[in-house]
Amino acid sequence: RRRLRRVVKATAWTVALGAIGVASWQFVDNLRNTGPAIAAPQQSVTSTAPSTHPTTHTPVPLAIKEAKSYNPYGDGGPEGNDAAGKAIDGDPSTNWTTQWYSDQFGPKAPALKPGTGLLIDLGSPQAVSSVNVQFVGEHTAELRVPTPAAASDPMNAKLDGFTVVGKKSGPGAEYTLDSPVTTRYLLIWLTSLNKDSDGKYRGHVAEVKVSG
């Protein structure tokens, strides 16, 4: 009977050890299949860099106080000065007209002189970014601004006292400056006139608009 009791105990231990082994194998297998813990996704923070594109400049119309004929060559007298205001009256059907010439402007004979002009007065120094000129017919014209010395008395200044900032040809001219120029006066200097139906050369400026 003692022998039987020892056999029963041994069998019980064997069964217990087997159960422990099975449980251990299942635990290890579960660990193998479970894998590492997955971290919760983190929200990414995106920073927006400031724009490198320059702000577009919106032109602002500038008021024109006065327009006068500027004629430093020939007899030096004004050309149609009484009608100069028609170039800034807002009505393109009216225009400032020069006297007539038998020959086109130019630096040599038979040209009478190299050009004539219309002086625009803004009333006070303004930052000018563009100037639009409407002609009647084909013209070539320079846009000029006076030097500080010439600006004190532009009507009596010589032409070389004005700096060229643009040159255009055609029935109209849009002078867009690379950077604004601060000035009170602008000179529309005509170097080539329209040939009218009567065969004579005349300058016709219908409208001048200035923007800052």
Confidence of residue 54 (pLDDT cuts 50, 70, 90): low
> Is residue 52 predicted with pLDDT exceeding 50?
yes
> Is residue 39 predicted with pLDDT exceeding 60?
no
Q: Domain check: are 69 and 156 in the same one?
A: yes
Q: Domain check: are 5 and 72 in the same one?
A: no
How far is Cα 118 from Cα 108, in angstroms, rounded to an integer? 22
Q: Domain check: are 77 and 175 in the same one?
A: yes
How far is Cα 141 from Cα 9, in angstroms, rounded to an integer? 123
Peptide bond into 41 cis (omega under 30): no
> Is residue 206 predicted with pLDDT exceeding 80?
yes
**Residues of the domain holding 135:** 61-211
> Is residue 36 predicted with pLDDT exceeding 90?
no
pLDDT of residue 19: 44
Q: Is the separation of the CB atoms in 173 and 205 below 8 Å?
A: no
Q: What are phi and psi of 170, to 5 degrees?
A: 135, -175
Q: Domain check: are 74 and 156 in the same one?
A: yes
Q: Domain check: are 103 and 9 in the same one?
A: no
What average pLDDT does range 97-116 have in this prediction? 95
- What's the pTM? 0.73
pLDDT of residue 43: 52
What average pLDDT does range 136-156 have in this prediction? 97
Residues sharing a CB contact under 8 Å with residue 112, sequence separation 6 or more, in sequence order: 73, 74, 101, 102, 103, 105
Asked if residue 51 belongs to a domain, the reply is no
Asked if residue 139 belongs to a domain, the reply is yes
Q: Per mean pLDDT, which range of 53-62, 89-98, 116-125, 171-180 is the poorest?
A: 53-62
Sequence-distant contacts of 195-198: CB under 8 A, at least 24 apart:
195/104, 195/137, 195/138, 196/100, 196/137
- As given in the structure block, the two tokens for residue 135 are 């002609």
Confidence of residue 75 (pLDDT cuts 50, 70, 90): confident
Q: Domain check: are 87 and 17 in the same one?
A: no
> Is residue 3 predicted with pLDDT exceeding 60?
no
Asked if residue 12 belongs to a domain, the reply is yes
pLDDT of residue 76: 66
Q: Is the separation of the CB atoms in 150 and 183 below 8 Å?
A: no
